[in-house]
Structure 1
Amino acid sequence: MSSLPRVDWATAAATAARLTPAGPVPGPAEAAAVVADLRDASVRAQAYVREITRMDPPGSRRTYVIDRGSWIRANLAGFAEVFDGPDQAGSARIREASAGVMAGAVLSVLSPRVLGQFDVFHGLADPAVDRGRLLLVAPNIHAITGKLGLDGADFRLWVCLHEETHRVQYGRAPWLADRLAELVRVAVSAGPAASDHATDAITALMSVVEGHADVVMDQVGPQVIGTLPTIRARFDKRREGRPGLARILGRLLGMEKKLAQYREGAVFCRSVQRLAGVEAFNRVFDSPDLLPSLAEVRDPDSWIRRVRP
């Protein structure tokens, strides 16, 4: 196995800062109102998601409402934990500026599009830090609301439902972030055969967590979001979709088309819940061995047969 890429994180940060376009700048009163409503929507989403998913993990429920620059810095810090680890972070080893430029460029391209993200790698290398944190990119949510002509309060709650589902998933399965980090390391450092196996495993994992979040959004939505059909119809027309961790990994690992297949994960989730119930589906978060393979994501019956007691 070859070594992990030596990324110059300072170059990545400088590249992203240089290339990231400035976001919309609403007036102070309007900006304050959007931030306050996002915080309120995040709190409301917590109760809805926990009721629908039947999962209520312990841990911090704090939400960070941020701008594009803060989102970029959060992701660079998270990937530094994945690639460097606690033993090498901050070391004086030689790093590659080219890898830093690529990472910074990818994040700069995605930064105007991402609405929210559960930062799964936060605290990965430091046991004293709370694992994971929920990020909401206020300027982008505000801009898309206006661009698509959506009801602001409804759209903000809709976004929060998706990201809150991720918080519940990773809270229920503390090992999940470590598993994803391990697969990413293998995908970027191993030979072709091992790398293909890792990318399939990443695709399966991300399809399930993203698909499940979309299902929860739609299950909760009709009860509390009056304009849900409008939001879904207009948002689904956006070609770039809803960039988040899957899109970042796809760009960085060269597997964007694979990780864009959220619909397979949503079909898997709905099928398992219909055939075996919500609690049966929740077993995917019980241990790494119970995660479905990519073949099982596409054949939910086979996963049910494998894990059924």
Structure 2
Amino acid sequence: MVDWNLAVATATRLVRPGPEVSKDEARAIVAELRRHAKASEEHVRGFTRMIPESHAPEDTPVLVVDRAGWVKANVAGFRELLKPLLEKMQDRRAGGTTGAMLGAVGGKVTGVELGMLLSFLASRVLGQYETFAPATRELPAGADGGGRLLLVAPNIVHVERELEVDPHDFRLWVCLHEETHRTQFTGVPWLRDHLQGEIQSFLGETDVDPMTVLERLREAAQSLAGARPEGEEDEGGRSIVELVQTPAQREILGRLTAVMSLLEGHADFVMDGVGPDVVPSVAEIREKFQQRRARGASRLDLALRKLLGLDAKLRQYRDGERFVRAVVEEVGMDGFNRVWTSPNTLPTKAEIAKPADWVARVHRRAD
């Protein structure tokens, strides 16, 4: 159903080259990122108090990669995560020679499309904690289903130059964010399985009937073009990704959005909270980085962000950080850490917007 090798080949062929650095500079950058990633473990765990000092660090490797390496890692992750859905689609596909031929052609088309999407994203991601990361020879992963932390060196160098900030401070600042994600998943044993269950439920609700999918795409196109059928309400600026979902998927997506807002906002809160002690120019970096997030790179970039739902990702950072900050101010870090007790103590999408409601529910306080 998807030609994964073609997806990798397409993305690596189309991705833009990174900034020019000499071999000596590249070695120094990689070495520094590894040092910062290691130092970030102590900074993050001390600030969040999520893992006791006696707890040994989990076996989740830190990999400094280029843009092609990021593509390969994400294709491997997609392949693992989407396996149940693709098997379902395979079963629904018509049998016989015609079905096999259409499947082969469709797999190549999908592989090219996925490769084009990854080539767009590969120059924008600074780092990533891969939660569902199968180990490969080139890209090791943690034992027993553990993930891996990726730092995309060319993109980090590109942004630090674009923002004209201290490169050493910026590299540590990025590592603090990504290390927070690693701490979240290694410090909360049930989080990975919970998130995987939600994603698989979302994929399980996917309607693989081609005519149904085409009808939803038509309705999505009408909405995006402002040509909604008479009597239908505005979809509130949803992306095309959201518009082709079923009602059940939208409900699951609401829960996933709340979790991702929590995780991203928590990472932003921690990187800025740790920052003043170890990143002297953290205030300057944050101000310039926020301006960069808000404006986008170009009109095309803004259009693609909207179409793919990436602007919703930016809202997750903002809304999640506000939630974490408000809760910590109200009940302290230990009080906030009750959020990691079980899936029942995770905030809902509504509580992300109203942190006081989460505090009242979880801490059993009167308003």
Query: Normalising TM by the smaller chain, what interval?
Result: 0.7 to 0.9
Cα deviation for residue 281 of structure 1 reads 1.6
Cα deviation for residue 127 of structure 1 reads 9.4
Give TM-score, length-normalised by structure 2.
0.73
The residue number in structure 2 matching 1:190 is 205
Q: 1:300 to 1:230 in 2, by over 3 A?
A: same
Amino acid paired to 2:359: I
CA distance in 1, matches of 2:147, 2:305: 22
Give TM-score, length-normalised by structure 1.
0.85
Q: What are the Cα deviations for residues 211-247 of structure 1, in whole angstroms up to 9, with x where unaligned?
A: 00000011100111111122112111113789xxxxx
3-state DSSP of counterpart to 1:239: helix
Whether 1:202 aligns to 2:220 is: no
Q: What are the Cα deviations for residues 100-149 of structure 1, in whole angstroms up to 9, with x where unaligned?
A: 3332222110111111111111149x995451111101111112222221
Whether 1:99 aligns to 2:94 is: no
In the alignment, which of 86, 103, 122 is matched to residue 111 of structure 1?
A: 122
Within a 5 Å distance, the mapping from 1:80-99 to structure 2 comes to 80-84=79-83, 94=103, 96-97=106-107, 98-99=109-110
In the alignment, which of 156, 169, 174 is matched to residue 141 of structure 1?
A: 156
Whether 1:161 aligns to 2:200 is: no
Whether 1:304 aligns to 2:303 is: no
Whether 1:70 aligns to 2:30 is: no
CA distance in 1, matches of 2:4, 2:352: 35
Amino acid paired to 1:71: W
8 Å contact 2:255–2:349 — kept in the other structure?
A: yes
8 Å contact 1:60–1:130 — kept in the other structure?
A: no
In the alignment, which of 289, 294, 300 is matched to residue 349 of structure 2?
A: 294
In the alignment, which of 264, 271, 289 is matched to residue 235 of structure 1?
A: 289
CA distance in 2, matches of 1:120, 1:252: 25
Q: What are the Cα deviations for residues 130-179 of structure 1, in whole angstroms up to 9, with x where unaligned?
A: 51111101111112222221111101000000000000001122332333
Q: What are the Cα deviations for residues 272-303 of structure 1, in whole angstroms up to 9, with x where unaligned?
A: 11111212222222222221110111111211
8 Å contact 2:60–2:143 — kept in the other structure?
A: no
8 Å contact 1:24–1:139 — kept in the other structure?
A: yes
Amino acid paired to 1:238: R
The residue number in structure 1 matching 2:8 is 13
8 Å contact 1:123–1:129 — kept in the other structure?
A: no
The residue number in structure 2 matching 1:175 is 190
3-state DSSP of counterpart to 2:19: coil
CA distance in 2, matches of 1:115, 1:197: 30
Cα deviation for residue 255 of structure 1 reads 3.6
8 Å contact 1:203–1:258 — kept in the other structure?
A: no
CA distance in 2, matches of 1:54, 1:8: 44
CA-based RMSD of the aligned residues comes to 2.9
8 Å contact 2:305–2:311 — kept in the other structure?
A: no
The residue number in structure 1 matching 2:329 is 274
Amino acid paired to 2:9: A
Identity across matched positions, percent: 42
Amino acid paired to 2:155: N
In the alignment, which of 31, 38, 46 is matched to residue 36 of structure 1?
A: 31
8 Å contact 1:204–1:294 — kept in the other structure?
A: yes
CA distance in 2, matches of 1:35, 1:296: 40
CA distance in 1, matches of 2:359, 2:282: 31
Q: Does 180-189 or 56-65 show the bigger shift?
A: 180-189
In the alignment, which of 280, 293, 297 is matched to residue 226 of structure 1?
A: 280
8 Å contact 1:42–1:157 — kept in the other structure?
A: yes
Amino acid paired to 1:104: G
Amino acid paired to 1:154: D
Q: Which has the larger radius of gyration?
A: 2
The residue number in structure 2 matching 1:3 is none
3-state DSSP of counterpart to 2:291: coil
Amino acid paired to 2:283: P
The residue number in structure 2 matching 1:245 is none
CA distance in 2, matches of 1:70, 1:194: 35
Cα deviation for residue 83 of structure 1 reads 0.9
Amino acid paired to 1:301: A
CA distance in 2, matches of 1:60, 1:127: 5
CA distance in 2, matches of 1:256, 1:106: 12
Structure 1: runs of 5+ lacking an equivalent: 1-5, 243-249
Amino acid paired to 1:271: A
